[in-house]
């Protein structure tokens, strides 16, 4: 089911100023990658840290980003009780992919102009641009006030999401660092380790459970923007370059069935064929059985 993909170059969005770097983003990206590299230092290695990192890919990446930021907040493919929605949102915030309102607005803009010049992150400009470059350079067209007023009004009507635009976001983010470190150090002390051993163990949990996990979730999310618009197959003629990509679908828990998603954006189920496994939708299904998800939107048509 593979088909050829036109790689005709696309111009940068008109609002881009390549002389103006968004330094908070650039510094954050660099800092997190450098901190994640501490995983190669033996003193910061622990199998517990690795296990927590792997679990975190699901808890923070699949539940926080895929299910909450994407399928729930952006596309309203399901409804959750507000208290549970806020819990899922906190998991997404810990992935350091900007505020929920900004994430939603950017993604809705992408759907409105997919693989056109207005698309903020089409890889038809270049693979590097679609993967990460679009975040580093100033784009006047996606200034917060302008994009919020068009694509995220519904999100910011909620006082919780409005607070995340200010003081609450850093409190959650840095608070998660403290929780991971203290949980690791506290567990080590409780099991008889010395103070120095406990501090070292806590640091390993912080490095693997926060920084390595965050960087991996970043690249997994970004691969949907880049890889899944260049390589794979299409079930539906969507008029853009969205593709169903097996590799991205596996590492991104079903988000790689991207052509299916572009064909039916509101559907909480991205895998439309029997073999298109979608762990994120499986999680939605489980939540539905538990009474924590209702009004789940499913595909209204199947591939021919």
Residue 136 lies in a domain: yes
Residue 251 lies in a domain: no
Q: How many domains does one find in the chain? A: 1
The domain in which residue 123 lies consists of 16-217
Residue 77 lies in a domain: yes
Residue 260 lies in a domain: no
Greatest extent of the chain over all pairs of C-alpha atoms, in Å: 63
pLDDT in tens, 163-210: 999 999 999 999 999 999 999 999 999 999 999 999 999 999 999 999
Residue 283 lies in a domain: no
Instruction: Provide the pLDDT confidence category of residue 7 given band limits of 50, 70 and 90.
Output: low
Residue 115 lies in a domain: yes
pLDDT in tens, 27-57: 999 999 999 999 999 999 999 999 999 999 9
Residue 162 lies in a domain: yes
Residue 245 lies in a domain: no
pTM: 0.94
pLDDT at res. 4: 44
pLDDT at position 266 over 70: yes
Per residue, what are the HEC states of 74-103?
A: HCCCCECCHHHHHHHHHHHHCCCCCCHHHH
């Amino acid at each position: 089911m593979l088909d050829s993909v036109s790689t005709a170059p696309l111009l940068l969005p008109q609002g881009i100023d390549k002389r103006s770097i968004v330094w908070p983003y650039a510094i954050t990206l660099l800092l997190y990658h450098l901190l994640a590299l501490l995983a190669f230092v033996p003193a910061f290695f622990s199998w517990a840290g690795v296990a927590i990192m792997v679990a975190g890919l699901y808890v923070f990446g699949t539940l926080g980003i895929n299910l909450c930021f994407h399928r729930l907040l952006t596309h309203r493919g399901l409804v959750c009780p507000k208290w549970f929605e806020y819990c899922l949102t906190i998991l997404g915030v810990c992935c350091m992919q900007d505020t929920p309102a900004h994430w939603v607005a950017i993604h809705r803009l992408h759907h409105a102009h997919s693989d056109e010049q207005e698309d903020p992150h089409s890889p038809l400009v270049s693979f590097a641009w679609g993967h990460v470059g679009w975040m580093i350079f100033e784009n006047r067209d996606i200034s917060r006030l302008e994009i919020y007023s068009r694509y995220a009004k519904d999100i910011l009507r909620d006082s919780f999401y409005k607070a995340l635009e200010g003081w609450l976001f850093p409190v959650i983010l840095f608070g998660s660092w403290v929780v991971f470190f203290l949980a690791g150090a506290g567990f080590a002390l409780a099991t008889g380790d010395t103070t120095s051993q406990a501090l070292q163990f806590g640091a390993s949990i912080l490095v693997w459970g926060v920084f390595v996990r965050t960087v991996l979730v970043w690249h997994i999310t970004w691969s949907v923007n880049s890889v899944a618009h260049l390589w794979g197959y299409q079930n539906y003629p969507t008029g853009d370059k969205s593709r169903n990509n097996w590799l991205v679908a596996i590492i991104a828990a079903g988000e790689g069935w991207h052509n299916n998603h572009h064909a039916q954006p509101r559907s909480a189920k991205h895998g439309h064929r029997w073999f298109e496994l979608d762990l994120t939708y499986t999680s939605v299904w489980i939540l539905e059985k538990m009474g924590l998800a209702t009004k789940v939107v499913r595909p209204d048509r199947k591939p021919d």
